[in-house]
Amino acid sequence: MTQPIFYHAGCSICIEAEQHLADALGAEIVHLGDTPERITEAELAGVKSVPAVLMGGAVFHINFGAAMTDFKA
């Protein structure tokens, strides 16, 4: 299995999910506000909102911090 990827926007919901879930999974952390070049990658993987974890080809959306469309506004 490939390394999970945790996409987030840096909001308080995202940071809490990062501290509890992403760290436990050993996920790569991708802050989309800091790395906007990875937004298309996340969308193509099926990410609709963040925080979200891509794991084993499936996207798991966690709570709701921001919609992907918010990054394009």
Q: Which residues of 20-56 are buried (b: 16+ CB within 10 A; e: fewer)?
A: ebbeeeebeebbbeeeeeebeebeeeebebbbbbbbe
Q: Within the chain, which residues score under 70 in pLDDT? A: 1, 73
Q: What is the pLDDT of residue 59?
A: 96
Q: What is the value of pTM for the model shown? A: 0.86
Q: What is the pLDDT of residue 72?
A: 74
Q: What is the pLDDT of residue 23?
A: 84
Q: What is the pLDDT of residue 65?
A: 79
